[in-house]
Amino acid sequence: MTSKTDGSSFFTMGVDSGSLTGKAVIIDGNKQIVSHSVKQLGFVSQKAVTMAIDEALDKAGLGLDDIAFTVSTGYGRKRLEIAGKNLTEISCHAKGANYLYPEVKTVIDIGGQDSKVIAVDPSGNVKNFAMNDKCAAGTGQFLEVLARALDVELTEIGELSMQSDADIKISSMCTTFAESEVISLVAEGHSTIDILSGMHKAISGRMKGLVGRVGMQKPVMMTGGGAKNIGLVHALEKSLGVSIFIPSEPQIVGALGAALFANDFATGIRKKVEEEQDLDKSRAPAKDCASCSIQNYQLNKTT
Amino acid sequence: MYQNLSADEILNNLTQIAADPYERAKEWKMETGSKIIGCYIMHFPEELLHAAGILPIVLQVKEEPITSGHAYYPAYFCGPTRSVVDQAAKGELDFLDAFVGGDYCIQAVGGSEVVGNLLPKVNNMFFRLPVGNQPWTHGDIVQGLKELKRDTERFTGREISAESIRESIRIYNKNRSLIKELYELRTSKPGILSSGEMMSIIKSSMVMPKEEHNAILESLLPKLAEQKDSKRQDAVRVFLSGSFCGAPKNEILSLVEESGAVVVGDDLFHGFRYISDNIGEDDREPLEAIAAHYIDKNTNVPCPTRCDPKTDWPQYLVDSMRKHKADQLVIVMAQFCEPHMFFYPDIKDAMQAAGIPHLLLEISHELDSIETIKTRLEAFVEMAV
């Protein structure tokens, strides 16, 4: 799978230690994806992360010593000892999304524990973001709880919900209350597919509010495990009135971004950016708007 | 006694006093046999109460979950108000001899009423602080101060002389000036005091005798001035705003700094807002000077509860960011803080117009996911790197 020629003779790795899954991506010096892996075990499972790393290395025919630099991201990012640097999944999803679709301006990430909307600039930097801040409502975990309550497989809920043309409203977005509401709907005789459809509409309504906080700009991409749910994607497209780009492996976008950051650190590109920032901050105190540090900061961000 | 302690030891002492905020006042009461009056958090003329020979302390938010207080105040009111009500319901404020409530915010008015009812053995007073900045506002505030002076005199049984108020003003001004010196020191050496330590210094000032606090600060200042700055020069410079009434949770302040940022300025109540302006020590009648202070300090650091049409809090924040050469603004908002929520849309617009990135952290009393706040703060700081 690997071709160790030219820039391909050195490798960097991104590891996304998510709340429900562990993901690893290895890229070569030409920033081509060499291998990736997604593993799911328990909450922020170190074992799942280790398994994902081992599998990605195995698929690439590499050992850990062959990796020049590793960046970790996700909920468990601070716990990965082999990582030379850790960055938030917000920065990594923006970077990964920009790599896969350079024109992308808005990224919607629905992960296991939280959802985020990220405004991305043409260089893959985060311009702005919003994140659900109180609970897991509307996330992968929320879907898992409700799939269990309805006795359907998580992987089936997307296709099933697409069969519904009913308009069931689920008002509560608290995972616990929504579960009670679903139980009431089942008791009232509503079909599973109609309830699933209502659930996706409810989540997309909540996401619309989050998108509104950032300000949607097209094109829009969806990442994270939630993007694998075709029913949710359709509900979101309808709610937002846009067509959403879904990458072939939406769960690895954060780890891919981390691998790209690792490449930046390994090659010194990232450090160079920091040095430029230092120069900017060492300038004389601002006396007017044209020379003040805030303006300079903005200039830096847009170049 | 503080002369022989190192800066770290002094800071540890102040942090401990701030962490258990009523213990030093209780000790003082045992030592002196004097009385303590609890002030309901913001905007109280501590100088006037101090001049009566009693110790005014600013009641503090406690991080413990609200239990007994649920019976008296609904969950959709702000955490600071509910926390003080909860402390009263649990009997934790029974050490107070008097209590003074206020009307600067609708939740505080209700909270003051409830606390007053929950502390039946305590002498209850009310400080009426008229809002706005009209030609009659100063006179109205003087009247509110006279009413509080009358009630305090009834409580203590002795008259409060103009000279004793002037002396209290001098002591309180000294405290504000010393803390301002710390701020100035921190401007040149941001690493010598963490934002958590700065908050503990101000919080401890609110709950212990100012004379004692002044002596501590006089020992601390030269020791800190000798220290070298430990902060990385390339740290992202953050200005902290908001958090009325309650001190921001220490964990949140630490997270800001752990995310790679350095706090270069603030307008927190447990921060610069509390000490921004001294009271005039001229020949004016002291209540006139205190009333003028309420108007002046709002010009220095605008407060949304003061409804002063001549001040512009969003613009103040833009100007402060530029003055401190801050890269980013972090807003800490107590959930359901109505005055703050009312101003936030204007602040957001002002920041966008000025090209200043900002992050809003809406903090609830019990339900915060620290991990989520951490991710948001780190991502925000990463935006500037």
Look at residues B78, B123, B131 and name the one whose alpha carbon lies nearest to residue B96.
B123
ipTM for the predicted complex comes to 0.77
Q: How many CB atoms lie within 10 A of CB B292?
A: 18
A281 CA: distance to closest CA in chain B (Å)? 8
Distances (CA, A) of B273 to B199, B318, B328: 11, 16, 19
A30 CA: distance to closest CA in chain B (Å)? 24
Residue in B320, B375, B376, B381 to test binding to A, most A beta-carbons within 10 Å: B375
Beta-carbon separation of A274 and B385 below 8 A: yes
Distances (CA, A) of B87 to A77, B41, B43, B93, B116: 38, 14, 20, 6, 12
Which of the listed residues A246, A265, A285 is the one where a domain comes to its end? A246
What is the per-residue pLDDT across B167-210, written as a single tens digit (0 to 9) for each?
Answer: 999 999 999 999 999 999 998 888 899 999 999 999 999 999 99
Beta-carbon separation of B364 and A134 below 8 A: yes
Q: B344 near B242, Cβ under 8 Å?
A: no
If asked whether residues A146 and A91 sit together in one domain, one would say no
Rg (alpha carbons) of chain B, rounded to whole number: 20
Among B62-76, B118-132, B222-236, the minimum mean pLDDT is found in B222-236
If asked whether residues A64 and A107 sit together in one domain, one would say no
Q: A299 near B332, Cβ under 8 Å?
A: no
Beta-carbon separation of A129 and B379 below 8 A: yes
Contacts of residue B379 in chain A, CB cutoff 8 Å?
88-91, 126, 129, 131
Q: How far does CA B84 lie from the centroid of its chain?
A: 15
One-letter identity of residue B380: F
**pTM attached to this predicted model:** 0.84
If asked whether residues A120 and A199 sit together in one domain, one would say yes
The domain ranges of chain B are 24-163
> What CATH number should be reported for the domain holding residue A130?
3.30.420.40
Pairwise CA distance, residues A201 & A212, whole Å: 16
If asked whether residues A109 and A93 sit together in one domain, one would say no
Contacts of residue A87 in chain B, CB cutoff 8 Å?
378, 382
B214 or A138, higher pLDDT: B214
> Does residue A219 have a cis peptide bond before it, meaning omega lies within 30 degrees of 0?
yes
pLDDT exceeds 60 at position B270: yes
Contacts of residue B364 in chain A, CB cutoff 8 Å?
134
Nearest residue in A to B351, CA atom? A294
Residue A120 lies inside a defined structural domain of this protein:
yes
pLDDT exceeds 50 at position B31: yes
Residue A229 lies inside a defined structural domain of this protein:
yes
Residue in A43, A133, A264 to test binding to B, most B beta-carbons within 10 Å: A133
Q: A202 near A173, Cβ under 8 Å?
A: yes
Helices and strands, number each (H, E), in chain A = 10, 10
What is the per-residue pLDDT across A243-300, written as a single tens digit (0 to 9) for each?
Answer: 999 999 999 999 999 999 999 999 987 764 444 433 333 333 333 334 333 333 333 3
Query: What is the pLDDT, as a whole number, of residue B41?
Result: 87
Among A59-63, A206-210, B326-330, the minimum mean pLDDT is found in A206-210
Residue A52 lies inside a defined structural domain of this protein:
yes
**Which structural domain, as residue segments, surrounds residue A231?**
103-246
Q: Which of residues 279-298 of A touch B (CB under 8 A)?
A: 281-282, 285-286, 292-295, 297-298
Residue A131 lies inside a defined structural domain of this protein:
yes
Q: What's the domain count of chain A?
A: 2
Domain B24-163 has CATH 3.40.50.11890: yes
Model confidence at A205, in pLDDT bands (50, 70, 90)?
Answer: confident
Which of the listed residues A246, A265, A287 is the one where a domain comes to its end? A246
pLDDT exceeds 70 at position B37: yes
Beta-carbon separation of B321 and A273 below 8 A: no
Pairwise CA distance, residues B332 & B323, whole Å: 20
